[in-house]
Homo-oligomer: A and B are copies of this chain.
């Protein structure tokens, strides 16, 4: 199966959910007013790939974990967000439960 970079889809999905425009999201992480919108658009179109530091800033702004952007299917993306909300002790319990199965 050909590989599709998951970043564009995830980025657009999380930005829409946060009800932010490409311009306001870009500006909120420090991009110039004039370049924020085209840069964010290029990321969502897959024309350019943001570097890890930029993705981390976007993730923090949108309230998703960094690894969310690299989830290749919707269910693992949703789980990445849910797991990010768990405490360390809840995660350990979940690891134990899934390891038993």
Write the residues of chain A forming the contact surface with B, with a CB cutoff of 8 angstroms. Answer: 3, 5-7, 49, 51-53, 56, 65-73, 75-76, 78-80, 82-84, 86, 88, 91-92, 94-95, 98-99
Contacts and interface: CB of A to CB of B under 8 A. Distances in A.
Q: In the complex this chain forms, how many copies of it are found?
A: 2
A50 to B, nearest CB: 11
A92 B75 contact: yes
A94 B81 CA distance: 12
Nearest to A10: B67
Given A53-B3, A67-B72, A72-B65, A95 B80 contact: no
Nearest to A57: B3
B95 A82 contact: yes
